[in-house]
Amino acid sequence: MSREVHYEIFRRQGAKGGWVMHDAVNQRDAAIAAAQSLMTNNQATGVKVVKESYDNDTGAYQSLKIFEDGHNKMKVEAAKEDQPSALPCFKPDDLYSYHSRSTMARLLGEYLARQRLTVTELIHRGDALEQLEATESTYQHAIQKVAVAQASSTQMPVQKIVKSLQDLTTKAMNRVYRDEKRDYFPKAQEGQFAALARTLAEDGDKTYLFNGALAHYLADADGWNEKLMRLLSILKEAEKDKDVADVLLGTVDSIGAEILAGSAALHELIGKSENLGAALWVLVHLFLGQPMEGANDAITAVTRHFKTDDLPAARTAVAGRILAELKSVKRLCPDSLVDELKTLRRIANKLVLGQGKYLSHEDLIGAFTLRSKRLVTNEMVGEHLIEAGGINEKLERLLLIEENIIGNENKRQLATFFAPIITSPGFEQYYLFAKTPVMERLQRLVDLQARVMRSGFQDLQKQEICDALDKVACEVDSRAKLLDSIDARPAGPVEKAVAILRLMTGATLTEGRLSERARGMILTHMGKPGFMTGYAAHMAKTKGINPDADAAMNELMATLEKAGITTEAGLKAIAA
């Protein structure tokens, strides 16, 4: 059995705060050390580390808490977090409630995946229950976990709760065994379930009997695909018989949700995928009700029903699976961070279309923020930068990451990788001594500065990066004497001002000291006698028009505004 293991670090704030995932790492010692550091630095009132084992065969996770510490003890909340919650059960019928079935799905998820069983089938089929009893460790372990969860909120000893639960489950199992022996469960095949629902309408055990009939109908299905197709065939009966449509739809939706909530079933239904990103892409289309070429019959059929919103519980289950996979530590595209980012962006853009009653905006943001957090670690970004061919490619790679992640803290973390690059001797040497033309190098710095300003970095980080880029640009100008050479030309003030304006409006000068110097030079030339007369003549020569004084002034003010010079400053310079 192939397994992938990672360790999730949770923290708690305040006396009544809930657990919040802080980080996920691959090393046990590193996870525990990080949790201890949170406590040492007073960043949490409680911490814990949970080992998550991913089974590649079943597609399911198994959780085990390996470390916990905290200033305030929160036994009730901690137990509820670590153990599957369950409502107290007092009679066998309680085990058929929604909450009990949900608890069984969590406790027995791996076992059910191996047996290709849903919870509804398990609790309505004697052969399935006998097989579970035979795997004594799985059965007993599930009961013990429920008992521990319940004991945390009562004064009753765990051993007594275990005995009560064992008695209760034994009664429930014996009931199923007894009902099978006396043929209490009705037999039904495809095309007969509408009639069965009508027959059972007044029976006190109608839900138990109808689900039992469905469980036995699905028993000999060959795999999840056939099982799902058998379920969906029942919906055709609902279309023909409106009187029992709600019963049929509700039952099929409930069992369909049990199938689609399990990653093992989805792995089989989707088929072999190149990576997690490709599998998620299929799931997203399924959730949105958008068919994909090459999908099998069951997925195609479910997609049609999702499009018409016939199966809300099943659709909710798929939404939950998408969020769970996004929050997992498994890479979308293990071989390339660039492909990972592009896939993440593509999935995000697609999922935005489906946010609403099944997928909240907050859940989406939370999932993508957590995945983004794993893409800006020192290890991940470091490996990505090592593959870069040079200074410019490193910056391009960082900006690509920035454009495809979300979360203020993630952006702040990523910004810390910029400073060592743009303040390094290699960066300065490249822009000062590269063989590429000076104008091209300056335009590249302007482009970098503009992209940083458009980014989601914190304002202070933006300013620091932009100042560093402007400093290099000033040194490039100083070495090449670009502005000085314009000022030294044997030309009039209009030609000199226009030349510098072209640099400003042509995105050649970085914002900061370099642009301020250029603006000062422009205003100085504008203050020379006869500037406006000369500017009008310049327009006549270059544009082939003879503007009047107002037209020339308006055109000049518009150009100055593009260069970052206000109309007021321009008029003052001319008046002087």
Both 26 and 160 in one domain: the answer is no
In terms of phi and psi (left: phi > 0; alpha: psi -120 to 50; beta: otherwise), the region of 317 is: alpha
Kindly tell me the sign of the dihedral angle through the C-alpha atoms of 556, 561, 564, 570: positive
Both 28 and 159 in one domain: the answer is no
Both 439 and 564 in one domain: the answer is yes
Both 57 and 136 in one domain: the answer is no
Q: Which pLDDT belongs to residue 184? A: 93
Asked whether residue 330 is domain-assigned, the answer is no
The answer to whether the beta carbons of residues 318 and 283 sit under 8 Å apart is yes
The model's pTM is 0.75
Q: Which three-class secondary structure state does DSSP give residue 46?
A: strand
The DSSP element (H or E) to which 53 belongs, if any, is strand 46-55
Q: Which pLDDT belongs to residue 16? A: 60
Asked whether residue 240 is domain-assigned, the answer is no
Q: Which pLDDT belongs to residue 57? A: 57
Both 434 and 571 in one domain: the answer is yes
Q: Which pLDDT belongs to residue 552? A: 86
Both 569 and 472 in one domain: the answer is yes
Asked whether residue 509 is domain-assigned, the answer is yes
Pairing of the two strands 60-70 and 3-12: unpaired
Asked whether residue 553 is domain-assigned, the answer is yes
Distance CA 78, CA 212 (A): 37
Both 566 and 434 in one domain: the answer is yes
Q: Which three-class secondary structure state does DSSP give residue 68?
A: strand
Both 145 and 11 in one domain: the answer is no
Looking at residue 242, the DSSP 8-state letter turns out to be: G
Q: Which pLDDT belongs to residue 3? A: 58
How confident is the model over 132-164, as pLDDT tens digits? 988 878 888 888 888 887 776 667 788 888 888
Both 145 and 126 in one domain: the answer is yes
Q: Which domain holds residue 70?
A: 3-74
Instruction: Among 163, 184, 205, identify where a domain stops.
Output: 184
The structural domain count of the chain equals 3
Asked whether residue 175 is domain-assigned, the answer is yes
Asked whether residue 344 is domain-assigned, the answer is no
* Length of the chain, in residues: 576
Which residue ranges of the chain lie beneath pLDDT 50?
1-2, 73-87
Both 431 and 570 in one domain: the answer is yes
Q: Which pLDDT belongs to residue 576? A: 59
Q: Which pLDDT belongs to residue 412? A: 94
Instruction: Among 147, 162, 184, identify where a domain stops.
Output: 184
Q: Which pLDDT belongs to residue 231? A: 93
